[in-house]
A and B are shown apart, each in its own frame.
Chain A
Amino acid sequence: DPKIIQKPKYLVAVTGSEKILICEQYLGHNAMYWYRQSAKKPLEFMFSYSYQKLMDNQTASSRFQPQSSKKNHLDLQITALKPDDSATYFCASSLGQYNNQAPLFGEGTRLSVL
């Protein structure tokens, strides 16, 4: 059974709409991340959270907002969607921010913006 659950697996949205990508992990990890993968930029770091606190944000646009309601949850809200946002969004987690431990990736949410 997958230990990092991402919902939905596939998502089609219209330009200008808003979507929330869900991520929850059952590994007991304290650090969670969002990465994005598209044809233009293979694997791009977006955000990192440690103990529900934002640690790093490499996303220039405020349209992308992570939300952590519980330690094992890190959702990603995307507003005013654009076709360029089409990508696979991967949630990942690791034991801790400071352990230099390679994160484990979820199965991803494939987003298409029309």
Chain B
Amino acid sequence: QQQVRQSPQSLTVWEGETAILNCSYEDSTFDYFPWYWQFPRESPALLIAIRPVSNKKEDGRFTIFFNKREKKLSLHITDSQPGDSATYFCAASAYNQGKLIFGQGTKLSIKP
């Protein structure tokens, strides 16, 4: 059972454009949603995270929009840079549970 889903599987945008990565979940007990990015041959690294008390979290060019009613969230990357090319993972965890459930990832390519 896939509890966290991401779309699209891959995405290509031009440098300077806004990339939008989507994520949805099924378990209503999930209350923490970190996004990780992973470069080839490296380990996942935390990029930004949100809790459902907020519907938006911003960190520089990266913004999470969260819709609790629809169980959806999205990661917006504005002014995309070639260095943003990576695989992005949406993850979720429930309160008092340390484990993260990851989506399948979105491979983002930024064309210069």
Interface residues of A (CB under 8 A from B): 31, 33, 42-45, 48, 50, 55-56, 58, 90, 94, 96-98, 100, 102-108
* Chain A, residue nearest B100 (CB): A45
**Known contacts A100-B32, A100-B93; is A50 also within 8 Å of B98 by CB?**
yes
Q: Pick the contact of A44 from B32, B46, B51, B102 — CB < 8 Å?
A: B102
A90-B44, A102-B34, A105-B43 given; A45·B95 CB < 8 A: no
* Across-interface contacts of A97 in B (CB, < 8 A): 96-98
Residue among B31, B43, B93, B105 with max Cβ neighbours from chain A (10 Å): B43
Q: Is the CB of B96 within 8 A of A103?
A: no
> Are the CB atoms of A90 and B43 closer together than 8 Å?
yes
Binding site for A on B (CB under 8 A): 31-32, 34, 36, 42-46, 49, 51, 89, 91, 93, 95-105
Of A50, A56, A96, A103, chain B has the most CB atoms within 10 Å of the CB of A103
Interfacial chain B residues near A94, Cβ < 8 Å: 98
Q: Which residue of B lies closest to A43 (CB)?
A: B102
Closest to A105 in B: B43
Contact across chains for A56 and B99 when beta carbons are under 8 A apart: yes
- Report yes or no: B102 in contact with A56, Cβ–Cβ below 8 A: no
CB nearest neighbor in A for B96 = A98
Taken together as a complex, chains A and B put the C-alpha atoms of A103 and B44 apart, in Å, by 10
- B43 to A107, Cβ gap below 8 A? yes
Contacting residues, chain B, for A105 (C-beta < 8 A): 36, 43-45
How far, in whole Å, are A56 and B100 apart by their CA atoms in the complex? Answer: 11
Q: Which residues of A contact B31 (CB under 8 A)?
A: 100
Supply 12 further A-B pairs (C-beta < 8 A) apart from A42-B89, A100-B95, A102-B46.
Answer: A43-B105, A45-B100, A45-B101, A48-B99, A55-B98, A56-B99, A58-B99, A97-B98, A100-B32, A102-B34, A102-B36, A105-B44
Could you say which residues of chain A place their CB within 8 Å of the CB of B44? 43, 90, 105
